[in-house]
Structure 1
């Protein structure tokens, strides 16, 4: 979902912890972001982009002495594709986009992200500005299909924010997202993602990226944080979980498609990774 908020006068809005992945940008004006977890105000200026991956409670305000009003009292129901005015507007305008992910895939992504991703470099802000201007135009002048276009633009904006974060933090972070900055490790991860049912081995992946087996295994664990085969197994089980939710495929069929000739071996791996058997998972879904 995406929308805008145009606030006037002195204002402060509190957002409860909701588990949503939230991105927003200051279209105009200035304000403060205060995370409930640390309470240290962060100054935001026009053109800044923020991502809050973990859905924690926070406050947005242009006056730190103003008592916050719950955002739920301002937006009584989900209003996708609209701009909400508060106190006549004109002081500060914010664009916001909300995302949800399936839990298992969310853990895969959110586990490598900090509580706040703040895009404030001028060059980076310019790179994102075009998406923001187009989305605000759609909100201000809705036409048939505007909401669908806005949703896709919001997804692109999210990806771009993650790409910029990766570019700045590639040498400091550990995890699959940061590992993508390493060309050879990225090639190996892409191969596993594109052909999860192939009989990959450390040796075959190392040959695929032009490295020795030992050097590849060492660098992969250093960059990703887990061994090659642990990563591959985890990816396969996430795909299996998705199939169990969204298809009528049998456990045996899913196991074979993911490179397991033995259904029992697949069930053992699935239970170890997901905490229950495939059939139990499917029933819950």
Structure 2
């Protein structure tokens, strides 16, 4: 697995498809701040997206999609000068999975949200801008459009298992949107996600994620990216915000924390599974990173 796949899997990424929105004429719908990461895609027509805290509205055309990575209120509208109605009552009156606004069917949006485990804020969401807009006109957006078309087809035809298939397709779409964002705006992200935009740093990250138990040295990681030890150290620190071996320690701790949350393995067994030679070695590193010993962490209330 590559680092992006690893983190999304660690965070127990799940999609939840929502009621579609069909609209026409002059209309505006106001939404409360969504939990998790909200996404919508315009399958027909065009509209405008306004997000709390973002000065400029975003024009959306057919084939466009967007992610809201922060819990902020937002409004979808046909244009200016229309009083917005609350989404709650509108969607409560939905028929056959479609809510209607305005007069007509000029516009159709499909969407949903992504939910994550408790570590998502620090590991993923804090590294992203509040809104990611993927215009349909870009050649790289073709894979996103394929996923969206497949989702719409599943929800329209409703074959056996359609909801499950559509939700998995939505996660595929999320991966592609994040990849496109990294390619299009490499300097708009930070942390490990930002490191994926630097070829040498990305190679080192991939090597560590492929074999996190290996006793890596900076020199070995540098060879994976075909750069010198000093070059990798400087570029890793600049993009990721920490040194390669510090990142490796923190990733091992994330893996150990997942084991502690989800399994009944002994701390000693977990230590060996994430690259530590003894329970005490893991305990020292774990407490340095989290402020808790592994046993204290395991006793905490559910951590999602």
| TM-score of the aligned structures, taking structure 1 as reference length | 0.89
In the alignment, the residues of structure 2 paired with residue 54 and residue 272 of structure 1 have an alpha-carbon distance, to the nearest angstrom, of: 29
Aligned to 1:103: 118
Give the counterpart of 2:128 among 91, 102, 113. 113
Is 1:164 the counterpart of 2:189 in the alignment?
no
Residue pair 1:188, 1:205 contacting (<8 A) in 2 also: yes
Q: Is the aligned partner of 1:263 residue 2:264? A: no
1:56 aligns with 2:72: yes
Aligned partners of 1:34, 1:113: CA distance in 2, in Å?
18
Residues 131-171 of structure 1 show CA distances to partners (whole Å, capped at 9, x for unaligned) of 22221122222111111110111111111111111111125
Give the match for residue 87 of structure 2: 71
Q: CA separation in 2, counterparts of 1:116 and 1:172?
A: 11
Structure 1 residue 51: Cα displacement: 1.1
Match of 2:21 in 1: 5
Instruction: Give the Cα–Cα distance (whole angstroms) in 2 for the partners of residues 282 and 62 of structure 1.
Output: 50
TM-superposed deviation, 1:230: 1.9
Assess, with a 3 A threshold, how the Cα gap between structure 1 residues 279 and 72 changes in structure 2: closer, same or farther.
Answer: farther
State the distance in 1 between where 2:224 and 2:88 align. 52
Note closer, same or farther for the CA distance 1:147–1:172 as it changes in structure 2 (3 Å cut): closer
The residue aligned with 2:267 is 251
Alpha-carbon contact 1:11-1:62 (below 8 Å) kept = yes
Matched residue, 1:94: 109
Mark the CA change 1:127 to 1:261 in structure 2 (over 3 Å): closer, same or farther: closer
1:193 shift after superposition = 1.1
The match for 2:9 is: none
Q: SS in structure 2 opposite 1:223? A: helix
Q: Which range is displaced more, 197-206 or 67-76?
A: 67-76
For the residue of structure 2 that corresponds to 1:27, the secondary structure is strand
User: Is the Cα–Cα contact under 8 Å of residues 26 and 46 in structure 1 kept in the other structure?
Assistant: yes
User: Helix, strand or coil: the match of 2:83?
Assistant: coil
Instruction: Summarize the Cα distance change of 1:92–1:213 in structure 2 as closer, same or farther, 3 Å threshold.
Output: same
Alignment RMSD, CA only?
2.4
Say if 1:8 and 1:256 are closer, same or farther in 2 by CA, change over 3 A: same
Superposition TM-score, scaled by structure 2 size: 0.84
In structure 2, what is the Cα distance between the partners aligned to 1:154 and 1:245?
26
Stretch moving more, 52-61 or 146-155: 52-61
204-213 or 115-124, larger mean C-alpha shift: 204-213
Where do 1:185-196 residues align within 5 Å?
185-196=201-212
- Residues matched between the structures, number: 284
Q: CA contact under 8 A between 2:204 and 2:224: conserved in structure 1? A: yes
What residue is the counterpart of 1:277 in the other structure?
293
- 1:192-231 equivalent positions in 2, closer than 5 A: 192-231=208-247
Give unpaired runs (5+ residues) of structure 1: none
Q: Which moved more, 1:101-110 or 1:141-150?
A: 101-110
SS at match of 1:111: helix
Relative to structure 1, the CA distance from residue 59 to residue 274 in structure 2 (aligned partners, 3 Å threshold; closer, same or farther) is farther
Contact 2:129 2:189 in 1 (8 A): no
Q: Once the two structures are superposed, what CA deviation does each residue of 1:226-261 show, in whole Å capped at 9, x if it has no partner?
A: 211221122111111111111111222212222222
- The SS at the match of 2:215 is coil
Q: Indicate the SS of the match to 1:75.
A: helix
What's the offset of the Cα at 1:125?
Answer: 3.9
Q: Tell me the CA shift for residue 78 of structure 1.
A: 11
Secondary structure of 1:147's counterpart equals helix
